[in-house]
């Protein structure tokens, strides 16, 4: 059964790149002269060249602590963290406010992550294609990913929304023809696509659904009879015998 496009392709790629950057950043903490870390103020004498600011996204003002790191060895800051200082003297401690990353080392930040008053993730902006424009926004609840809003055609409008529960993908709502109306709905469980619905007449209501076979059905599905195809073998989005309308309980379902 076709799902038209893989889910989490961008997220997986950025996750791998982010892991590489953070690994390098951790490695550079061990005595690197390029690591900016001053408690209670901003230290600017690090020798690092900062190609541009963060477009006002990550704050830099009095009372905040700023740290910059070079993870690629080119003497350019590609990781920047901003902290708020709480307490005084021995009780003083830092709480992360914002972090920005330049993943491809082109001088422009590609990821901005913001944190709440407890230092837990709150929101993240991503430029997934490195063109200088944010095309994905993630929202967190209790430190876990709750929702992603994605602009797939770079027109400044989100056309895909992914919903998560306890950090796992639950539902996807997508505008495949970019007319500002949802026309595809995906339902997921434990990383597996359960079913996918399509709206073909533009009323934002699913006209038919395709169900994903269970693992047992995948293993026990008999071979089709020679000389013909079974019911429901039409590709996703093209209907086919036994596909139109779906179950009565699903007709008109938009999100579940």
Per-residue three-class SS string for the chain: CCCCCCCCHHHHHHHHHHHHHHHHHHHHCCCCCCCCCCCCCECCCCCCECCCCCCCCCCCCCCEEEEEECCCCCCECCEEEEEEEECCHHHCEEEEEEEEECCCCCCCCCEEEEECCCCCEEEEEECCCCCCCCCEEEEEECCEEEEEEECCCCCCCCCEEEEEECCEEEEEEECCCCCCCCCEEEEEECCEEEEEEECCCCCCCCCEEEECCCHHHHHHCCCCCCCCCCCCCCCCCCCCCCCECCCCCCCCCCCC
Q: Which residue has the higher pLDDT, 169 or 19?
A: 169
Q: Which residue has the higher pLDDT, 80 or 16?
A: 80
- Judged against a pLDDT cut of 60, whether residue 250 lies above it is answered with no
The domain segmentation of the chain, as residue ranges, is 9-22+33-180
pLDDT of residue 217: 56
Per-residue pLDDT tens for 105-144? Answer: 888 899 999 999 888 999 999 999 998 899 999 999 999 9
Q: What is the mean pLDDT of the chain?
A: 73
Q: Whole-prediction pTM value?
A: 0.64
């Amino acid at each position: 059964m076709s799902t038209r496009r893989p889910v989490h392709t961008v997220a997986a790629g950025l996750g791998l790149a982010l892991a590489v950057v953070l690994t390098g950043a951790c490695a550079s903490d061990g005595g690197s002269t390029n690591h900016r870390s001053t408690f209670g103020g901003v230290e600017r004498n690090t020798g690092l060249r900062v190609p541009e600011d963060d477009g006002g996204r990550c704050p830099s003002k009095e009372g905040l602590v700023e740290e910059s790191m070079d993870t690629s060895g080119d003497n350019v800051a590609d990781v920047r963290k901003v902290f708020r200082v709480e307490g005084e003297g021995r009780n003083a401690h830092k709480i992360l406010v914002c972090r920005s990353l330049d993943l491809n080392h082109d001088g422009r930040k590609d990821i901005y992550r913001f944190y709440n008053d407890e230092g837990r993730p709150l929101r993240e902006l991503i430029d997934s294609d490195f063109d200088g424009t944010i095309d994905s926004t993630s929202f967190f609840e209790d430190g876990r990913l709750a929702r992603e809003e994605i602009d797939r055609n770079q027109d400044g409008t989100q056309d895909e929304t992914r919903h998560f529960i306890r950090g796992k993908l639950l539902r996807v709502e997508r505008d495949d023809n970019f007319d500002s109306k949802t026309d595809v709905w995906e339902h997921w469980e434990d990383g597996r696509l359960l079913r996918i619905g399509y709206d073909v007449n533009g009323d934002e209501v699913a006209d038919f659904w395709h169900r994903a076979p269970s693992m047992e059905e995948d293993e026990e599905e008999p071979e089709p009879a020679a000389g013909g195809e079974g019911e429901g073998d039409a590709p996703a989005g093209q209907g086919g015998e036994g596909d139109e309308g779906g179950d009565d309980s699903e007709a008109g379902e938009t999100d579940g």
